[in-house]
A and B are shown apart, each in its own frame.
Chain A
Amino acid sequence: MTQQTELGVEDRAPELVPLNAIFATDFVQILVPVTTANTMDEVAAAVAHHVEGKRVRALPYRKVVLHNGRALPGDLTVAEAGIAPMDHIAVEYDIPEGS
């Protein structure tokens, strides 16, 4: 009988990760589903889709994902960042100092 080995998250099909998210100065936490394969740039865009230019005026700056108080690189995936279902994230504009 073949022994089954558990695949690492990078080898598995993307899994759904529902998140509790707040976009910048928005007034409410919202539910945003992403997957383990999404990058932080994609996660930021998914959260922004519900708010940016709809309740919070769009600004011409990069958006970053904050998780457990840490700003995460845009190319990191949800799986790599260790973001789990029901986790809280915030998305903020990366506004250069002095602007």
Chain B
Amino acid sequence: MALLKREEWQGFVRDVDWTPTYVDDEAIYPEWHSGTGKVPREAWLNWEESYKVTYPEYVATQREKESSAYAVKAALQRSNNFEVLDEGWKSATKMHFGGVALVEYAAVLGELKMARFGLNGAWRNMATFGQLDEMRHAQITTFFGHEFIAKDPQYDWTQRTFHTNDWVPISARNLFDGMMTAPNVVDLAIELPFTFETGFTNLQFVALSADALESGDVNFANMISSIQTDEARHSQQGGPTMEILVEHDPVRAQWIIDKSFWGSARIFAALTGPAMDYYTPLEHRKQSYREFMEEWVIDQFIHTIEDYGLKKPWFWDEFMQGLDTWHHGLHMGLWFWRPTLWWRPKAGVSKDEREWLREKYPNWETVYGDKWDVMIDQVNADNVEATLPETLPWLCSTCHLPACNATQSRDGKWRVRTWQLDYDGRKYHFCTNTCRQIFWKDRDNVNHETLIDRFLAGQIQPMDVGGVLAYMGMTPEVMGDDPDYAAWTRDYVGRAAPGLATPAGKAS
């Protein structure tokens, strides 16, 4: 029997919808999951994805992608490709494997929620492909990271990270639970496919793949490209959802996109920023994190929101100023609290590297150079102990990242400031004014307890650094340390170094 042509049947099957007779629509698509809000139910009939795919096409393409990714991996297993990689790049991959593998699995659940509660058959169809995509991403990322465990136990955190209470996954869990687990499907489609995937990860995956090739990691580049092609397809769920929401409830559309843009930007500053501006070897850097954000994320984001008739988020100035500070502060925090990491953070502040940082960020030396100088002098005085933590950084009650964003006051001084909120009988502290505002607007939402909250509530015992590391699931063979202290301190050996704490803890 001859097969029908695609165009003869696809229109019938891609948006199959039932007309229920035994129950009403609300029973099948309850508001708390489907979230139509002010949008009339019939408006969702117009939901249409721009790139349509059928199940046979999907299976054939995915099969090909899988075969190709695993074939390259098998071939490279017999080479010394891994051994020759730079330690900084390896750290970027460890951070990626641990930070991403199980978020992909959480995304399966998000896609499944849209596949069940989406208010249009075509949307549910697209989300069904989306959940298969995310399952593949969880699997391929876990599997590719797993290969290296025998060579380096830090790769074990590919699978382990989100099963621990390390502060990095706590922060990511808070963000992604807010983006995928908690919201109804309309908000989810704006937060995940529209903002996070279209606005951030699609572009980051393209850049990351190029960085991987530049660093000689063909295997990783291959995996990332394979994943990115799926993202480009299923992230389309955002556009049609946004189109309908913005027509009927632009205030809600603006709030959801603003909130998720901010959360995405914060986590990007913590993970992508240090990888691009510090871990990637100088000779392999194509652009700074700020340049990457401006070219790939910000231009596109502004273009997109204008297309939908929306405004720039209210926090735009604070966000733009943060492009010069957030990730530098977070990098310093990651490095100083390095025993809490499952990778080896490079400090990356040799003279050449600093020159590059100064060129890309004219205020870098003023805001961060003095602190690095003290740490450099301590390493050169053979007092590495002074560069290790004895307390916790304060973690923001919204983004759960260290509160480490310096701003400049009118008198020209750069200082980290407090953003405080007294609410419901307790005090909260935030890293930025916007994190404080988002917490307030979203205060009825479920928020994870920060590590500070847990520590002060006595959940972490004993209440010292050892107790904190044990609570985080950190073990000695995994605990992060700088891979090469001499690489960034040898330029400064022999210079005058006043005002250092002595090993006894007393300033000299």
Contacts and interface: CB of A to CB of B under 8 A. Distances in A.
Interface stretch (A6-14, A18-26, A35-43, A72-80): A18-26
A88 B106 CA distance: 36
Nearest to B455: A31
Interface string A72-99: 0000000000001111101000000000
Contact of B392 (A31, A56, A84): A31
Contacts of A56: 370-371, 374
Nearest to B387: A54
B470 interface: no
Interface string B400-418: 0011101000000011111
A4 B501 CA distance: 48
A62 interface: no
B416 A26 contact: yes
B501 A58 contact: yes
B500 A29 contact: no
A20 B452 CA distance: 10
B503 to A, nearest CB: 11
A32 interface: yes
Contact of B507 (A26, A30, A31, A52): A52
B473 interface: no
Given A28-B333, A29-B394, A57-B498, A22 B374 contact: no
Contacts of B370: 25, 56-57
A53 B501 contact: yes
Contacts of A32: 391
Size bracket of the A interface:
20 to 34
Interface in B422-478: 426-427, 429, 452, 455-456
A32 B392 CA distance: 8
B329 A28 contact: yes
A20 B394 contact: yes
A29 B429 contact: yes
Contacts of A54: 374-375, 378, 386-387, 501
Contacts of B375: 54-55
Contact of B416 (A29, A49, A58): A29
Given A27-B333, A53-B499, A88 B374 contact: no
B508 interface: yes
Contacts of A50: 389-391
Given A20-B429, A30-B394, A31-B452, A53 B508 contact: yes
Nearest to A87: B427
B332 interface: yes
B46 interface: no
B404 A27 contact: yes
A84 B414 CA distance: 27
A29 B374 contact: no
A56 to B, nearest CB: 7
Interface in B474-508: 498-502, 505, 507-508
Nearest to B413: A25
B507 A53 contact: yes
A21 to B, nearest CB: 8
A28 B416 contact: yes
Interface of A: 18, 20, 22, 25-32, 49-50, 52-59, 84-88, 90
21 contacts: A20-B418, A20-B429, A22-B416, A25-B371, A27-B329, A27-B404, A28-B333, A29-B402, A29-B429, A30-B393, A49-B390, A49-B505, A52-B501, A52-B507, A53-B374, A53-B500, A54-B386, A56-B371, A56-B374, A58-B501, A58-B508
